[in-house]
Structure 1
Amino acid sequence: MGLRDILRAAATLAALVTLGFSFVGVKMNDPPEQSRSPLTGFPTWHGTIPNEDKEVNYAFVLAALLFTVGASYLSHRATKSPSRSLTGFVTLSTGNEESSVQVNELIQYYIDATTISVVGYIFFDVGKIWAVVGVLHNLLEVALLLTFLQGGRVTKVSFGLYLFVYVCLVILFSVYLDWPKDAIFFRWQGLCSDFGLVIMFVRIFISTKKQLEAFGNRDLHDEELARAQSVVERLAQEQERSGSIDALAIHHPKAGDRIAHTAGPSSATVAVNSPLDYLQSGLKKFVALPPTPPQSHQPKDRSPESTPRSQHQAHFDGETVHVLVGDDSANVDANDCTRPVVRTLSKDKSIWGVEWYNPNQLLILIAASVFHLVGNVLVTIWPRSMYALAAFQFSYGVVFPLYAYYLYVDNHALRQTKVYLPQFTKVKTFTVICLTFIGATLTIRLALYFSTRPASGSVF
């Protein structure tokens, strides 16, 4: 726990408290008259929309439904029969690595729950009854956040308890609060999870990019390199079990030892000045050598030229890097086994292809969460604008096909990929929670501000 982290947490808490005081004096004694659901006749969580074109509105709703249903179908197809090894979520503080199976399942359920909420909207419109269905959408967002906090896999019994309490509280407050407090509360808690997903995906992207770049940075602090040592040893064991390369003897040489590497016909000798140098060499091997899938597990009808692959080779700020690769028939021993050799690659070379570079596949998740957040923010601040409502509904046609596309990429279009989760210390987690509250609360505050202006109408 550093002083900088504590100061950031204090600053975000102070900003949240200050924002809370801005609600003092806001009056909601004269809320607008609620519209009625055209099918059920129950009150909704919005007033009448001036110059509303119901035909256009229903067209956008139907488009959102078709896109979410299509995304749900494609997500099930993408995760049903993976054609490659899945992404591994690595926790650097412990060295644990979890497959992305559970995260992918939650994303798939997230798309399904959103489809259900859209169907509920068609029947009930947004209101107290719809909240019982719509909360499933937010529930899966919270489940994704908790899963990432636990290292990419549910590891604690409290996971289910948190979700149960969350659902109960949201339904109770949404049902028993009076208009418009019920609508404001439901919108606020949904925005919290929306902001939380954006922050989480951005942090994971930055953490992964930083770690991949740090593997070749000799100026990195010893502590940061040491955190990844257990990951290196774990991968070496995986490589030995998979048979992709010969067993690697892991030892910690003393200062002054020298390690010989074979580079084609010639050999090079690299001085090891400290265990840190050896560890750095191991880290480069970790990035460069994911286990090669057996031939029987290769995708059918898929040529190497047409399959995007992730960059798991050395790419370290222009530095020339030694990587282990399987050589051709020129390096076959007496037992007809291919020997691993060390080759030198420049920063512009790639042994896996150039179409997909780790962690660029995470940009799909960032784009999806940002589009969804923007749509929700617009319809919250300007709920009586047909343009904002259309943007919100149209966003569903972009967001959830993007999530389905990520599942396809993760299951079919990449080699095995390592994603490095950021540090989830108590102070940093508290700071992120405050940031999500600030984003959601600021959006509601802006909505209340514009609702007091005659040309803007009400919040909902």
Structure 2
Amino acid sequence: MKIGACLAVSLSVIALILVLASFHGIDPEIPKQARYRFTGYLTWLPELDGFDANQLDATLLFNQILLILSSYYAIKWAYHPPTNRKLITRFYSVGDRDAISIPTIDFDRVLSVYIVMTLLAGVTIFLVGVGKIWVAVGVLHNAAEFTILVMLGSGGRIKSAAFWPVLGAYIATITVTCILFKFPYDALWFKGQGLVFDWALIIEFARVYITTIRELRLGGANRDNLDELVVENEDDPIAHHKSYHAILNHPHQLLLLVVGAVFHVAGNIVFTVYRFSFLALLGFFFSYCFTYPCYAYYIYLDLHVTSIYPQKRYYLPENPWWKVASIAIASIALAFLTIRAGV
């Protein structure tokens, strides 16, 4: 185990070093900042090839309509959870027999707040553009991602009261540094740290899905009594009339989280690589039209649809220090690699 842990951390560090080394000798072109059409403030965007204000406004309007609907229903579903116990999914921590199972309701609520923060960030983009002023709202989008990662790494809930001061310190640090840094360092700093969370979400959502699939097939990581997770008798007509809820193939609803996170990163990659292309910017905004409805639909399935099992369970993977370090370093390396692709 010690050898495997050291190897995982070492490979992550080597990958990060190689990515950083790829920047050596690069003299990137620093684009001239464009002024936002409504306010005249300097933005983090350059003059874009093929810019069309009508297309941009139509894309942003479509984006915001979907985010408004996603926010409304996500908040409605998450903050009015069902009373039927069969509809409530529970987190189980792999490798911790003494851990108490945690309902996913708080996680769903944080996910719904994440959608709302993204909506606010999008509205602010339309009003003032992407730049220093936008950071005060945009950082809340990243703070929600940070909260989601901490919850998944802590058994499905925030366990320490120290988390909230840490979250506040993160928000203050990012906001103040972006205000003080000169262009392009403010834009690179904000984008880089945001990409770290974006990549980490893909990794963590995928880990939860894979771990849950494996543990359900093996009979439970905690070796507890999973006889209750026997598939209901499909030939029993009485069983079918006991529930009026749709039935899903649990736990494949977790794929919505993975797909949503992948779309979000894909939009970032496209606009990072083709940062002077107006079509790439539209592609970035369109990625939000897939990501956040996916998250909202996941919340609906998590709280309103039954499973073929009497209880819906998610198994959270173990997070020893070396796994946390490896994932963090790998996410940083992937963030730098994304930026390197656009240099």
Q: Give TM-score, length-normalised by structure 1.
A: 0.68
**Equivalent-residue separation in structure 2 for 1:412 and 1:114 (angstroms):** 24
The match for 1:32 is 31
Q: Which residue of 1 aligns with 2:230?
A: 288
Could you tell me how far 1:171 is from its partner in structure 2?
A: 1.1
Tell me, yes or no, if the aligned pair for 2:81 and 2:105 is still in contact at 8 Å.
no
1:126 and 2:130 matched: yes
Q: 1:151-162 to 2 correspondence within 5 Å? A: 151-162=155-166
How far apart are the structure 2 equivalents of 1:104 and 1:228?
24
Matched, 1:103 2:102: no
Q: CA deviation at 1:395?
A: 1.3
2:77 corresponds to 1:139? no
Give the Å deviation of 1:305: 7.8
Alignment length (residue pairs) = 328
How far did residue 289 of structure 1 move? 8.2
**Matched AA of 1:392:** F
Tell me what 2:254 maps to: 362
Could you tell me how far 1:286 is from its partner in structure 2? Answer: 4.3
Q: How does 1:281-430 map to 2 (within 5 A)?
A: 282-283=225-226, 285-288=227-230, 307-309=245-247, 356-415=248-307, 416-430=311-325
Secondary structure at the aligned position of 2:45 is classed as coil
Equivalent residue number for residue 328 of structure 2:
433
Deviation at 1:406, TM superposition (A): 0.7
Residue 71 (structure 1) aligns with: 70
Q: Which residue of 1 aligns with 2:202?
A: 198
Q: 2:276 is matched by which residue type in structure 1?
A: R
TM-score in terms of structure 2 length: 0.91
Rounded Cα–Cα distance in structure 2 between residues aligned with 1:129 and 1:368: 27
Q: Which amino acid aligns with 1:10?
A: S
Q: Which residue of 1 aligns with 2:186?
A: 182
The equivalent of 2:91 in structure 1 is 89
1:387, distance to aligned residue in structure 2 (A): 2.3
Deviations 1:173-230 (A, max 9, x none): 2111111111111111111111011000000001111111112xxxxxxxxx7x614x
Superposed counterparts of 1:157-168, under 5 Å: 157-168=161-172
Moved more, 50-59 or 80-89: 80-89
Aligned-pair distance for 1:303? 6.1
Alignment partners' CA distance in 2, 1:393 and 1:173:
26
Cα separation, 1, equivalents of 2:228 and 2:13: 39
* Greater relative contact order structure (CA < 8 Å, 6+ sep): 2
Matches within 5 A, 1:45-60: 45-60=44-59
Identity of aligned residues (%): 30
Tell me the CA shift for residue 27 of structure 1.
3.0
Higher normalized helix content (fraction of residues) = 2
CA contact (8 A) 2:60 2:285 kept: yes
- Structure 1 CA distance, aligned partners of 2:162 and 2:250? 32
- The match for 2:16 is 16
Q: How far did 1:5 drift?
A: 2.8
**1:47–1:94 Cα change, 3 Å:** same
Deviations 1:53-80 (A, max 9, x none): 1110111011111110110011122224
Indicate if the aligned counterparts of 2:79 and 2:109 stay in contact, CA closer than 8 A. no
Partner of 1:241: none
Aligned to 2:236: none
User: 1:312 maps to which residue?
Assistant: none
Change (3 A) 1:32 1:92: closer
Counterpart secondary structure, 2:174: helix
Deviations 1:298-335 (A, max 9, x none): xxxx96686333xxxxxxxxxxxxxxxxxxxxxxxxxx
| 2: CA distance, partners of 1:115 / 1:24 | 38
Match of 2:213 among 209, 213, 227: 209
Which amino acid in structure 2 is aligned with residue 396 of structure 1? Answer: Y
Mapped partners of 2:171, 2:24: distance in 1: 29
List alignment gaps of at least 5 residues for structure 2: 233-239
Equivalent residue letter for 1:34: Q
The CA distance in 2 between the partners of 1:137 and 1:374, in whole Å, is 17
Query: RMSD value over aligned CA atoms?
Result: 1.9
Segments of 5+ residues of structure 1 without an aligned counterpart are: 216-224, 233-281, 291-301, 310-355, 449-460
Counterpart position of 1:228: 222
8 A Cα contact 2:75 2:109, kept in partner:
no
Amino acid at match of 1:158: A
1:328-360, Cα deviation, whole Å (9 max, x unpaired): xxxxxxxxxxxxxxxxxxxxxxxxxxxx22221
CA contact (8 A) 2:75 2:113 kept: no
**Aligned twin of 1:258:** none
